[in-house]
Amino acid sequence: MGMPVYMHPVVSLGSALLVAAAPTRGVADVKYLTDLSLCKPASALRTSPREGCWQLIPYETVDDPNMKAGTMVGAASYVEAPDITLPLGLSGWHAVYLGFWNPYHAYDGGTTIKARLTGDPGFVRIKEPEPRLEYEMKGSRYVSHTSLKEVFLTNADLTGRDLVLGKVCGPFGEKLYVAYVKLVPLSPEEVTALQAQRAQTDARTLVGSIDGISYFWGNEYRKPEHLLELVEPFRNSQVGKIIWAVNYGETTNYPSTVGTLWRAPGEPAIEQSTNAYVKGEKVAGQSLTSYLERGIVPEEVVGQRLHEMGVQFDIMFRLGIAGFDLLPPRRGAKPKGFLASHPECRMALADGTRVEKASYAYPPVRAFMLSLIEEAAKRFDVDGVCLCFVRGPEFLGYDPPVLEAFRLRYGEDATAVGFDDPRLRTVRSEFLTRFVHDVRRVVTEVGRTKGKQLTVSAWVYGSANQNLDYGFDVVTWINEGLLDSVIGANDPEIAAAAQAHACRLTSAVWDIDGSADTAEGRSRDSREVRDRAQDVSIRLTTVGGIDVGQGYWDTAFSGG
């Protein structure tokens, strides 16, 4: 069905065509599988575009020392193509590479490869943005061309295993054209080193956060396995901990008896979108609701998989409780939530103006967030709790409890001093320190009931003074043994306190899921990818019988 592969000796192993690599590549026994018409099921393959199918597209390349021609499989972004399997017919350890085409002229956005080996628990996604035209000087003018690119997928024992290809479908569908598979055998020494490297769990020091809801904005999430694709890139990577947001103030992304579900029943459904954000919100609402209606809670699915990988799973709490629903236009028919029932707990400006945001100077506010933390820590199989102080400050203002505490201590009116007055900073920070004390107590109690030691971390700003501006007395929190780790601080005073009290200072990648499947993110997260990544570009001369070798723009398209 596919075009014959020629130029090099062909070895038939009862699966795809295997092309012995020319020695100019410097690696003996490298195999290229260029005939993807051998993918199964055959019913999913067509020679012309068809909904629900992959298209078979013959291609030829320049006089490459490894390959001359083949048949790729591809589908446009809007095609709902099923998973297909390419038989490999090999045994032993290999590095697996994929050759793909990301055509400019399709005007179809970027590409996302979804690939895994049979037996793997989930797909790995590899993204490349929408391309630009490639040019070279030919004679006296620049000539455009189009090429196949190559990406590293994995190192694995291929005995009894095949390659499975999938594509991103749904409202965020992306095109995918896979042209070949390259298999590089690993030496016994390389395998031994690789297995030793994977066993070094203490070397997995990278921490990443996942928002807990915004991933819905950029990809397909309709099945449980789609959730697992979020974290599959972290297998055998440098990532040792994922921090997953479970709330946004009082709003939760799981069914809660304390907070309000992100898309509460009875709210107007988004039937159409007018911009990218509303489109994402629509899809997020539909996807999350669909999961929960089937009893699928993302935190439970992802947490279990991360632990199977040997990666820690913490839950993150955004602490700002804002009354967005109080300000028209509202989502629901009437105001709801914490501030609607506790208007007396709102923050205040120096002139007494009430702000539609809860102040941690009030015990009911601290108690509410504490109960949310306790609920989620009990419900999910977590290793720790992260208090995210860098999203949503301020947390206190010129609130009556703050004014009274300032008056009792200094005998003055706090509204007459600036917000950065050291005395006012001290008073404000004491309310948040009280809250962190309570969090430490609750998390320790939850851990005791589970028979494990749960950690408490705080995500803060860089310097001690900057944190104090917001009421975060990080040094005191460390000195009083309230924190196991601090994220984001790079201050000598905080570092000294951390060293004295066995508190770990670390950094974290915000929204690590947004970059884990890109070339930069894959290289950052995985030493294996970094060691195996190659800059390969194989220029095409024909695609589907159309000559693109004499100038991609000139001979294939030059439309207005």
- Which residue in the block uniquely carries the two structure tokens 């396995």? 225
Give the global pTM: 0.89
C-alpha atoms less than 13 angstroms from C-alpha of 77 in its C-beta half-sphere: 16
Q: Tell me what pLDDT residue 5 has.
A: 31
Local mean pLDDT, 10-residue blocks, the chain (560 residues): 30 36 51 97 96 97 82 97 97 97 92 97 93 78 87 97 96 95 96 92 89 90 91 92 96 94 74 83 89 96 96 97 74 72 95 95 98 98 98 95 98 95 96 98 98 98 95 98 97 96 96 89 90 90 90 68
Q: Tell me what pLDDT residue 209 has.
A: 97
Give me the residue spans of the domains in the chain.
10-197+528-556, 212-510
Task: Give the separation between CA 94 and CA 183, rounded to whole angstroms.
Answer: 6
Asked if residue 34 lies in contact with residue 69, where contact means CB atoms within 8 angstroms, the answer is yes
Radius of gyration from C-alpha coordinates of the chain: 28
**Measuring CA to CA, which residue among 184, 22, 158 is closest to residue 97?**
184
Q: Tell me what pLDDT residue 559 has.
A: 58
Asked if residue 540 lies in contact with residue 61, where contact means CB atoms within 8 angstroms, the answer is yes
Instruction: Give the distance, in angstroms, between the CA of residue 376 and the centroid of all CA atoms in the same chain.
Output: 21
Task: Give the separation between CA 542 and CA 62, rounded to whole angstroms.
Answer: 9
CB 253: neighbour CB atoms within 10 A? 25
Q: Tell me what pLDDT residue 229 has.
A: 93
Task: Give the separation between CA 164 and CA 139, rounded to whole angstroms.
Answer: 43
> How would DSSP label each residue in 258-326?
SSEETT-TTSPP--S-SSHHHHHHHHHHHHHHHHHHTT--HHHHHHHHHHHHT-EEEEEEE---B-GGG
Alpha-carbon separation of residue 52 from 42, 77, 86, 253 (angstroms): 12, 12, 18, 32
The continuous run of DSSP H or E covering 479 comes out as helix 474-479
Q: Which CATH architecture has domain 212-510?
A: Alpha-Beta Barrel (3.20)
Question: Is 457 exposed, middle or buried, given 0-12, 13-18 or 19+ CB atoms closer than 10 A?
Answer: buried
> How would DSSP label each residue in 223-255?
SHHHHHHHHGGGTTSSEEEEEEE-EETTEESS-
- Which residue in the block uniquely carries the two structure tokens 């030919």? 138
| 376: CB partners within 8 A, 6+ apart | 246, 247, 252, 254, 256, 299, 315, 317, 382
Task: Give the separation between CA 174 and CA 76, rounded to whole angstroms.
Answer: 7
Task: Give the separation between CA 434 and CA 138, rounded to whole angstroms.
Answer: 71
User: Which phi and psi angles does 537 have, rounded to 5°?
Assistant: -140, 120
Task: Give the separation between CA 49 and CA 57, rounded to whole angstroms.
Answer: 10
Task: Give the separation between CA 62 and CA 24, rounded to whole angstroms.
Answer: 16
